[in-house]
Structure 1
Amino acid sequence: MEQPSTSDLAHALLSAPGWARVGLTAPRDTLRLAAAKELALHVQTLIDGEDSLPDPRQTSLPF
């Protein structure tokens, strides 16, 4: 398996959910851990090439 580039990792981190990025600075250990797990999952999903899969927890809104 090829190692992701620095720019790939940067894109993955910046495209992660905002709550997870902000959650890394939360005062509670449990929230920081949940945020770190979400970021890791998001990065792994992008590395594995599954970027197009919708989040099953996200409801779709009609236009």
Structure 2
Amino acid sequence: MERISRTHLADILLNAPAWARVGLTVRDDRMRERAADILAATILERLEEPPVPDANQLPLPI
């Protein structure tokens, strides 16, 4: 399994739906659970996307 970097995870969280990020802080248990579910789904969805190659990375011949 590939390890995710802290910056990549932070990017995913910051680009998650705003209501879900705020929803984690509300008193309503159901809303917190829905928000956590959406955040988890967003993380998994973004992790499944193929990584975008860095334009500054030089390709290595194999």
- TM (norm. structure 1) is 0.75
Q: Give deviations 1:7-55, integer Å, cap 9, x for gaps.
A: 11000000000000000001100000000000000011111117xxxxx
TM superposition outliers: structure 1 runs of 4+ over 3 Å: none
Cross-structure match for 2:10:
10
Runs of at least 5 residues in structure 1 that lack an aligned partner in the other structure: 51-63
Q: How many residues align?
A: 50
Runs of at least 5 residues in structure 2 that lack an aligned partner in the other structure: 51-62
What one-letter code is carried by the residue in structure 1 that aligns with 2:19?
Answer: W
CA RMSD of the aligned region, Å?
1.1
Larger Rg: 2
